[in-house]
Chain A
């Protein structure tokens, strides 16, 4: 059954990703913060993790996208939007501040749940709450913009 195949593929990709993050030692927040500390004790390793990932992916991605469709799906669901907006900058600033504070971005944070540690559960819970809050907030904001737009049209009409 293709659905079972497709789900196994997702599981396999996740395992490979989590294992790769662990091999790269990105699950150690001290290592991440030491990378971000150029003016102190600097550990350049994270640049090599991103470099390695980007090198493989930058070669593979254009070749894969040339295929027209994925092996087990109808079409590629790659973001069509390439335009830069305010959201991308505001979100980047907030995310960067949180990443710098504790040394955890989402991938290593979720992978580190495997250590079943109290500090990980704390930051993970806050991450879930932040994600949920922002999703609700964005949905409300979209509604508000939509209503305002309709109200403006009504006035003009």
Chain B
């Protein structure tokens, strides 16, 4: 194992901002800041419970824009997919189906659920983290001979 590109300060600061956002949403609106859950309610809407979701999701994208505008080339100034189109499609489908069946993602289970000490969220988080580790191991070390 070799440690690369480790950015503990920006990671902790960014994480704290995410935690503040989740706390703010709970304090003001009483809702959990689980991205897949908030987004799922737009894709498969429930009457009278959609507009705040659209604004939250629009906010995510605006937050990304503000970062790029302030950053001006520092940090992440572009993105590059790590896999080709067929794998992107497979990954997107798996993330959509998995977070819907499992009722949450990294934010809803990993940050909000664990903060409430929900056993359900703990099992969910351990399961998706473990599977993700195994998936990367298979893709990077078994199929490509350690590339």
Contact = CB atoms under 8 A, between A and B. Distances in A.
A138 B132 contact: no
A7 B140 CA distance: 43
B96 A133 contact: yes
Main secondary structure of the interface of B (DSSP, over half): helix
A41 interface: yes
A1 interface: no
Interface string A67-91: 1011111111111011111011111
A80 B18 CA distance: 23
A48 B15 contact: yes
Nearest to B5: A43
B14 A102 contact: no
Contacts of A22: 14, 63-64, 67-68, 71, 75-76
A130 to B, nearest CB: 2
A107 B15 CA distance: 12
26 contacts: A9-B29, A11-B56, A14-B60, A17-B22, A18-B64, A19-B64, A25-B10, A25-B76, A33-B136, A37-B136, A48-B8, A56-B15, A57-B19, A61-B112, A73-B29, A79-B32, A83-B120, A88-B124, A94-B94, A98-B93, A99-B106, A99-B132, A99-B135, A112-B64, A114-B65, A131-B36
A59 to B, nearest CB: 8
Contact of A16 (B17, B94, B98, B131): B17
Contact of A9 (B28, B35, B94): B28
Contact of B82 (A19, A30, A126): A30
B18 A17 contact: yes
A89 B44 contact: no
Nearest to B12: A52
Interface of B: 1-8, 10-33, 35-36, 39-40, 43-44, 51-53, 55-68, 71, 75-76, 78-83, 85, 87-103, 105-107, 110-116, 118-120, 123-137, 139-141, 146
Interface string A113-157: 111010110111111111111111010000000000000000000
A16 B24 contact: yes
Interface of A: 6-31, 33-34, 36-58, 60-61, 64-65, 67, 69-79, 81-85, 87-107, 109-115, 117, 119-120, 122-136, 138
B126 to A, nearest CB: 8
Contact of A96 (B36, B40, B85, B129): B129
Contact of B81 (A29, A61, A95): A29
The 5 closest A-B pairs by CB, nearest first: A91-B102, A14-B59, A130-B96, A18-B63, A24-B14
A97 B131 contact: yes
A123 to B, nearest CB: 4
